[in-house]
Structure 1
Amino acid sequence: MADVEISRVGIEVVDRLEPLWLALHEHHQSVAPPAVYQPNDRSWAARRRAYVEWMASPGSFILLAERERDLVGYALVHVHAGPDDTWVTGDRMAELETISVSPAARGQGIGTLLLDRVDAELAAEGINDLFIAALTGNDAAIRLYERRGLRPVMVHLARFAADQPGDQAG
């Protein structure tokens, strides 16, 4: 993938991420169990706020994957203090909060390139503990993470008021 350049950047690029976040938001709706999903504008507003918050944590970073200056993917890694309260971890841990590849570029190894660079950046910082959440139904992503040595350690269950008959998403 010599035609894809991966660069480490900061929060200054956050607004460039919106189209790829929205593509991921739509992908989630296509693979995850049925639910009432936020409209795109509210989803992006909430995710953008989260990105600003996560990036304020020292060591957090964004990786951009670009092909001929076109953004084709990104990863956002939130670094935070450890150790974990359940598992033996180091004093700093990382969570891959988002990895997104444009629909037209999926299946071309860009996600793997981003994950390789995430691992390299974390290793350079001496961070060995990485958490990644994947939606139920996003089987391709889960297989990719498992091939990289990650394993399921937690299952989140949810009940959403918006899914209940007669309730309206606010």
Structure 2
Amino acid sequence: MGDAVEIVRGAVDGLDDLRPLWLALRTHHHQVAPDLGPVRGDEETWRLRRAQYEEWLTNDPRNFVLVARRGGGGRAIGYAFARVADSSSPTWDGERVVLDVETLVVAPEARGAGVGARLLAVLREEVARRGYDRLTLTVVSANRDALRFYEREGLVPTFTVLRDTRGTP
């Protein structure tokens, strides 16, 4: 991949650097799961996602974004957006603080070079440093490459969401 990759914390004023990566992820999701329907256009999807990111960063200081850049502050080639959730269950005992990975994306040309694994390692360090109970994330079930990556990284399915394909969408 050439230049070394650095992972830094991002901020609200740098969110627009993430737009191309978000658009690549949106396109990839549509490619692996076209049966979920049409996707939003570039401007609308980024406007909605950026607003969510800004709100999450502004409203809870525990939330953060990690940005992977080529050495020397080059362009973003990956990012992970994480939100902290206080969780409890009527079934399982105890209150839990969970670091939920809302988005983890690596630019298509940078995949397979360890960027995703490095982002995940920094997320795990944050879980340990802050004393959170666990790290969670959601994956589109048709995204087989992502599932294989996360399983290689030691993540396992916990809950499965099923969608009725016989009824109305």
- TM-score normalised according to structure 1 size: 0.84
Counterpart secondary structure, 1:50: helix
Out of 133, 150, 157, the position equivalent to 2:155 is 150
Out of 46, 49, 73, the position equivalent to 1:47 is 49
User: Where does residue 116 of structure 2 map in the other structure?
Assistant: 111
CA contact (8 A) 1:7 1:64 kept: yes
Structure 1 runs of 4+ aligned residues shifted over 4 Å read 84-90
Structure 1 residue 66 corresponds to structure 2 residue 66:
no
Task: Decide whether aligned partners of structure 1 residues 7 and 49 sit closer, same or farther in structure 2, where only a CA change above 3 A counts.
Answer: same
- Kindly, what percent of the aligned residue pairs are identical? 37
Looking at structure 2, the residues matched to 85 and 22 of structure 1 have their Cα atoms a distance apart, in angstroms, of 38
1:15 Cα deviation (Å)?
1.4
Return 5+ residue gaps in structure 2 as ranges. Answer: none
1:88 Cα deviation (Å)?
5.1
CA contact (8 A) 1:72 1:102 kept: yes
How many pairs were matched up?
A: 162
CA contact (8 A) 2:117 2:153 kept: no
User: Where does residue 39 of structure 2 map in the other structure?
Assistant: 37
User: Where does residue 28 of structure 2 map in the other structure?
Assistant: 27
Return 5+ residue gaps in structure 1 as ranges. Answer: 165-170
Q: Aligned partner of 1:19: which letter?
A: P
- Which segment drifts farther, 29-38 or 14-23? 29-38
1:95 Cα deviation (Å)?
0.7
Looking at structure 2, the residues matched to 114 and 64 of structure 1 have their Cα atoms a distance apart, in angstroms, of 8
Looking at structure 1, the residues matched to 88 and 12 of structure 2 have their Cα atoms a distance apart, in angstroms, of 26
- TM-score normalised according to structure 2 size: 0.84
CA contact (8 A) 1:89 1:129 kept: no
